Amino acid sequence: MDLLTILSPAVQVAARLRSELLAGAWSGQMPGALWLEAELGVNRKAVEAGLRLLEDEGLLVGQGPGRRRRIVLPKDHARWRLYYTNQVINLWITSSTARTRWRRLGTLSSMRRAT
C-alpha cells in the first residue's frame, strides 16, 4: 500500500477555493478571510496562506490591507482547471512512486533514523 501524500492546510484551502472559483461560485471579489474561516472550518492563518497561494497563481489580486481580493479568472478557465487537476494528479503519482522506490531501496527508513 502506498503512503498518503499529506497536504498542508493552506494548500488544501487553496485547492478548495480554486475549484470553487473556477466553477463560478464567486465573481467580482472574494469573501473576507473571517467568513472563509468560518465556512471552511480552518484557522485564519491557513485561509490567508491559501489566498496568498491563489494570488501567486494569478487568480486573485490583493487590494490592500483590510480590503477583499479581486477575482481574476482567465478567459479559458475550463482549460486552466483541467491543467491544475492534472498537476495534482501528477504530484500524487510522482510522490507515491518516489516513496515506493525509497521504501524498496531502504532510503526512507535510513532518512527517518537520521532525523
Read off the pLDDT of residues 51-89 as tens digits, 9 standing for 90 and up.
Answer: 999 998 888 999 888 889 999 877 765 566 656 666 666
Sign of the Cα pseudo-torsion (30, 31, 34, 35, in order): negative
pLDDT top residue among 107 and 64: 64
Backbone conformation region of residue 2, classed left if phi is above 0, alpha if psi is from -120 to 50, else beta: beta
Say what percent of the chain tops pLDDT 90. Answer: 30
Helices (H) and strands (E) in the chain, counts: 5, 2
pTM check: above 0.75: no
Supply the DSSP symbol for 65: T
Please provide residue 43's backbone torsions phi and psi, each rounded to the nearest 5 degrees: -75, 165
CATH of domain 9-114: 1.10.10.10
What's the N-to-C CA distance of the chain in angstroms? 24
Task: Please state which of the ranges 14-23, 26-35, 68-77 shows the lowest mean pLDDT.
Answer: 68-77
> Given this model, what pLDDT does residue 114 score?
44
The residue extents of the domains of the chain are 9-114
